[in-house]
C-alpha cells in the first residue's frame, strides 16, 4: 500500500509567491536607472510577467536539492581520494583528456558564476533574475567541485598544477577563454543566447553527456560524479536557455533578426570550441563510448533538428552554416588531434599516435574520411617516429582572428585544401578559418580586432621571450614533464610502476 | 526524426524507479543505455508521473526530486505537483 500523496501549497502558487511576490516596482528611482543594461541591445520586452520558469523552482527548494547533491558528490570525491581511485582508471593516458577538460572548462565555470551573478542583479524581470541567481550559485559549485577533482589528480599527475595561470596565457586555452570573454562582454540578452541557449541547450550535451559517460566507462569516478552532479543543474540551465529564446521571440517581432544573428554567431563559435571535445572523445579516451560524429548526429542533427523545427513557428531558422558544421563532424577530431600532435612541445598534456586497434575503430566510425585522409598521415608520422624523426612543427601557426584556433581546417567539400578567409578593417588585414568566423568578425569588427591572439603576442614579445623554453616558462609549463608525448613521460613511468606493483601482488 | 522529446537520467538506484515509471507510462518511449546514464526518447510527448514513482518507492515522490538525477533533456518542459511533461509546441 502506498500512502496517499500529501497535499501542500501548490507548486505554481508557491513559485508565484516566492518569485513575483518578492519583486516590486521601484519608486524612488526610475526602473531604467535601477536596471541600466537590459535595453541597449535593442531587445524589446513589453511584459516581463509573461516569464515563467517551467521547473518553478523556488529558492527554498533550490537549497534543499542542491544541499543533497553536494552531500552525495563530496562523499564520492572523498571516497575516491581515500581509496586511491586514480589507480582504478582504465589507463593513465586517459588523464590527459581530464587535464584538457579541467584546465579548459573549470575557469569557464567561474566566469559563468560571475556573469550570472551580474544578470541576477541586472535583469528587470524577476523570473529570469531568480533563475540567473540560481545559475550563478550552480556555476560556482561546478568550479569548486572541479577544483576538488583537480586537487586530487594533481597529487599524482602532471599538467594540472597551474590551471588558472595557464587559462589566461596558453594558446589553446585561449579558445574557450575568448569564447567566454566574448559572451561576458556582450549585453545580457546576448549572454543568455550565447551561454544559456547556444551553449547550454544546443551544444552542452555534446560536452557533458557522452564525455561523462566516457569517464564512467574509463573508471574515473571523480569525473563522473562531478560531471553528472553538474549536469543535473544543466537541465535547469537548458530550460532557462530555451525559455529566454521563446520569451524574446514572443515579446516583439523586432527581436527576431537580432536573436537570429546571435544564434548564428554562437552556434558557430560553440561548434569550433567543441572541436576540442571531439578530439577528446575520438582520440583521448582509452575506452570509447561513441564517436564525435555519432554524438553530433544524436545531439545536434536529431535533438537540434526537433528544437529548431519547434522554434520555426517564431520565424527562427536553423543556425547559418549548420550544414557545414555537420559536414565538419567527419573531420574536426582528426584535424585537431593532428594539430596537438604537431605542437606537443607546447601542450600542457601528453599526445600519442593512435594504435592499430584505435585506427581500426576510427575507420569503422568514419568510413568516409578516416582511411582516405587521416590514416596515411598518422602512419607516416608513425614511420617517422620509428626512424627517430618524430615530427614537431616548429613554426608558430596562424590563428583565426575569431575562434583563435590554428588555421588547420580544410575547405567545406575539399578536405585536401586548407580553408582560409581574410578581410580588411581600419587598414589592417584579418585572417579566418571559415566563412562562419569571418561573418562574426564583420558583424563586430571593433570587438574582434582587439582579440588577444596568443601567437601574435609571442611575436610581439609579450610572452616571456622568443624561444619555446621562454614561452613555456611564461605559461608555467614544465618542459619535459607537462608537455610532449605520453610515451616517456613521468606520468607513464609512475603509472607503469603502479601497474608492476599490482602484477607482483597478484602473483 | 522531428518531434522527438528526450530525458536523460543517471543510471543509479535513485533514478531507477523514475526510469521504470517513464517506460511504463509512455509506451512509445525508448531507453538507450550508456555507461552511467540512460537517455529516454519519445515521440512528441513524455510524462513523468509522481503517482507512478511514488507507488514504486513506497513514499511520496515530489516531481522536483527529478533535479537529483536528471542529466539532460530535449523539449519544452512543464512541471506541476503531479507530473513533469516534456513536449514540443508548448
Closest to A225 measured CA to CA, from A405, A456, A71: A71
Predicted pLDDT at A235:
87
The gap from C-alpha A164 to its chain's centroid, in whole angstroms, comes to 16
CB half-sphere exposure, A319, CA atoms < 13 A = 29
Q: Considering the entire predicted model, what is its pTM?
A: 0.94
Q: Does B60 touch chain A (CB under 8 A)?
A: yes
Question: Cα(B79)–Cα(A15) distance, rounded to whole angstroms?
Answer: 11
Minimal CA separation from A8 to chain B, in Å: 9
Question: pLDDT value at position A5?
Answer: 64
CA A343 to chain centre: 21
Question: How far off is chain B from A118, nearest CA to CA, in Å?
Answer: 25
In tens, the pLDDT along A453-476 reads 999 999 999 999 999 999 999 999
A442: number of Cβ within 10 Å? 14
Nearest to A398, CA basis, from A416, A373, A377, A422: A422
A477 touches A162 (CB < 8 A):
yes
Nearest chain B residue to A235, by CA:
B72
Residue to test with chain A: of B37, B50, B63, most A Cβ within 10 A: B37
pLDDT digit string (tens) for A267-301?
Answer: 999 999 999 999 999 999 988 889 999 999 999 99
- When pLDDT is cut at 50, 70 and 90, the band that residue A2 belongs to is low
> Does the pLDDT value for residue A8 go beyond 80?
no
> Crossing angle of helices A303-311/A221-251, nearest 10°?
20
pLDDT band, residue A228 (cuts 50/70/90): confident
Instruction: Summarize the confidence of residues A21-45 as an average pLDDT.
Output: 95
Looking at residue A4, its pLDDT comes to 63
What domains lie within chain B, and their CATH numbers? 4-87 (3.90.56.10)
Residue A418 host element (H or E) = strand A414-418
Residue A66 CA to residue B68 CA, distance in Å, equals 8
Q: Which stretches of chain B score pLDDT less than 70?
A: 1-2, 90
Among A10, A16, A54, the residue to mutate for chain B (most B Cβ within 10 A):
A54
Contact (Cβ atoms closer than 8 angstroms) between residue A240 and residue A200: yes
Query: Is the pLDDT score of A7 beyond 70?
Result: no
β partners of residue A429: A424
What average pLDDT does range A133-145 have in this prediction?
95
Q: What was the pLDDT predicted at B68?
A: 93
When CB atoms are compared, the residue of B35, B67, B74 closest to A289 is: B35
Q: For chain A, what is the mean pLDDT?
A: 93
Strand partners, B76: B87
Q: Do A55 and B64 touch (CB under 8 A)?
A: yes
Distances (CA, A) of B70 to A59, A213, A216: 19, 14, 16
pLDDT of the residue at A356: 97
DSSP structural state of residue A345 = G
Determine contact: B51 vs chain A, CB below 8 A. yes
Name the more confident of A386 and A1: A386
For strand B45-49 and strand A421-425, is the pairing parallel, antiparallel, or unpaired? unpaired
**CB neighbour list of residue A390: distance below 8 Å, 6 or more residues apart:** A381, A384, A485
Is A301 in the B-facing interface, judged by CB distances under 8 Å?
yes
Say how far apart CA B68 and CA B53 lie, in whole Å: 14
Architecture in CATH for domain A43-506: Orthogonal Bundle (1.10)
Q: Is B77 on the interface with A (CB under 8 A)?
A: yes
CA dihedral A404, A405, A411, A417 (to 10 degrees): 120
- pLDDT tens per residue across span A359-373: 999 999 999 999 999
Residue A487 has pLDDT above 50, yes or no: yes
B34 has a chain A CB within 8 A of its CB = yes
pLDDT of residue B1: 44
Interchain proximity A209–B1, CB inside 8 Å: no
Per-residue model confidence as pLDDT tens digits over A73-91: 898 888 888 989 888 898 9
Given a cut of 80, whether residue A505 has pLDDT beyond it is no
| Residues 228-267 in A contacting B (C-alpha not used; CB under 8 Å) | 228, 231-232, 234-236, 238-239, 242, 246
Interface test with A, best of B65, B73, B80 (most A CBs within 10 A): B73
For the question of an ipTM over 0.90, the answer is no
Residue A222 has pLDDT above 60, yes or no: yes
**pLDDT tens digits, residue range A310-357?**
999 999 999 999 999 999 999 999 999 999 999 999 999 999 999 999
Q: Do B64 and A65 touch (CB under 8 A)?
A: yes
Q: Give the pLDDT confidence score for residue A1 in this predicted structure.
A: 54
What's the farthest any 2 CA atoms get from each other in chain B? 37
Angle between helices A95-122 and A221-251 (to 10 degrees): 40
Minimal Cα distance from A287: which residue of B?
A: B35
Amino acid at each position: 500500500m502506498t500512502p496517499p500523496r500529501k497535499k501542500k501549497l501548490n507548486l505554481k502558487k508557491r513559485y508565484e509567491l516566492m518569485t513575483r511576490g518578492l519583486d516590486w516596482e521601484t519608486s524612488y528611482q526610475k526602473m531604467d536607472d535601477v536596471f541600466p543594461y537590459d535595453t541597449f541591445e535593442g531587445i524589446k520586452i513589453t511584459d516581463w510577467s509573461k516569464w515563467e520558469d517551467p521547473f518553478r523552482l523556488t529558492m527554498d527548494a533550490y537549497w534543499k536539492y542542491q544541499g543533497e547533491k553536494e552531500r552525495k558528490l563530496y562523499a564520492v570525491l572523498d571516497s575516491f581520494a581515500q581509496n586511491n581511485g586514480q589507480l582504478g582508471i582504465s589507463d593513465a593516458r586517459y588523464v590527459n583528456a581530464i587535464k584538457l577538460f579541467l584546465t579548459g572548462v573549470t575557469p569557464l565555470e567561474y566566469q559563468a558564476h560571475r556573469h550570472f551573478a551580474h544578470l541576477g542583479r541586472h535583469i528587470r524581470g524577476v523570473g529570469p533574475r531568480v533563475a540567473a541567481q540560481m545559475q550563478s550559485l550552480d556555476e560556482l559549485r561546478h568550479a569548486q567541485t572541479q577544483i576538488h577533482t583537480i586537487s586530487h589528480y594533481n597529487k599524482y599527475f602532471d599538467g594540472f598544477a597551474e590551471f588558472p595561470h595557464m587559462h589566461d596565457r596558453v594558446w589553446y586555452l585561449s579558445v574557450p577563454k575568448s569564447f567566454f570573454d566574448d559572451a561576458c562582454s556582450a549585453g545580457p540578452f546576448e549572454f543568455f543566447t550565447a551561454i544559456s541557449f547556444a551553449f547550454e541547450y544546443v551544444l552542452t550535451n555534446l560536452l557533458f553527456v557522452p564525455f561523462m559517460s566516457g569517464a564512467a566507462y574509463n573508471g574515473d569516478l571523480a569525473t563522473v560524479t562531478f560531471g553528472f552532479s553538474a549536469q543535473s543543474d544543466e537541465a535547469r540551465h537548458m530550460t532557462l536557455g530555451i525559455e529566454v529564446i521563446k520569451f524574446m521571440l514572443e515579446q516583439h517581432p523586432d527581436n527576431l533578426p537580432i536573436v537570429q544573428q546571435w544564434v548564428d554567431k554562437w552556434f558557430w563559435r560553440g561548434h569550433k570550441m567543441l572541436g576540442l571535445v571531439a578530439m577528446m572523445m575520438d582520440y583521448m579516451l582509452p575506452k570509447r563510448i561513441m564517436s564525435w560524429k555519432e554524438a553530433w548526429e544524436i545531439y545536434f542533427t536529431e535533438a537540434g533538428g526537433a528544437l529548431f523545427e519547434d522554434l520555426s513557428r517564431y520565424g527562427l531558422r536553423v543556425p547559418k552554416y549548420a550544414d557545414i558544421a555537420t559536414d565538419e563532424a567527419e573531420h574536426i577530431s582528426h584535424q585537431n588531434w593532428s594539430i596537438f600532435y604537431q605542437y606537443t612541445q607546447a601542450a600542457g598534456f601528453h599526445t600519442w599516435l593512435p594504435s592499430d586497434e584505435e585506427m581500426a575503430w576510427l575507420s569503422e566510425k568514419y568510413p568516409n574520411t578516416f582511411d582516405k585522409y587521416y590514416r596515411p598521415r598518422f602512419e607516416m608520422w608513425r614511420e617517422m617516429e620509428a626512424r627517430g624523426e618524430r615530427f614537431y612543427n616548429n613554426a608558430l601557426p596562424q590563428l583565426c582572428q575569431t575562434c583563435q584556433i590554428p588555421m588547420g581546417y580544410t575547405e567545406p567539400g575539399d578536405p585536401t585544401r586548407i580553408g582560409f578567409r581574410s578581410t580588411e578593417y581600419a587598414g589592417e588585414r584579418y585572417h579566418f578559418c571559415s566563412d562562419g568566423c569571418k561573418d562574426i568578425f564583420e558583424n563586430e569588427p571593433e570587438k574582434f580586432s582587439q582579440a588577444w591572439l596568443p601567437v601574435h603576442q609571442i611575436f610581439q614579445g609579450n610572452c616571456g621571450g622568443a624561444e619555446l623554453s621562454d614561452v613555456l616558462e611564461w605559461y608555467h609549463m614544465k618542459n619535459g614533464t607537462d608537455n610532449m608525448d605520453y610515451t616517456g613521460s613521468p606520468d607513464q613511468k609512475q603509472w607503469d610502476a603502479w601497474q608492476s606493483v599490482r602484477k607482483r601482488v597478484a602473483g | 526524426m522531428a518531434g522527438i522529446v528526450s530525458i536523460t537520467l543517471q543510471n543509479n538506484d535513485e533514478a531507477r524507479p523514475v526510469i521504470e515509471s517513464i517506460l511504463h507510462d509512455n509506451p512509445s518511449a525508448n531507453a538507450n543505455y550508456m555507461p552511467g546514464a540512460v537517455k529516454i526518447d519519445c515521440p512528441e510527448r513524455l510524462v513523468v508521473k509522481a503517482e507512478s514513482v511514488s507507488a514504486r518507492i513506497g513514499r511520496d515522490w515530489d516531481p522536483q526530486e527529478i533535479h537529483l538525477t536528471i542529466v539532460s533533456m530535449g523539449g519544452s518542459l512543464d512541471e506541476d505537483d503531479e507530473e513533469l511533461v516534456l513536449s514540443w509546441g508548448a
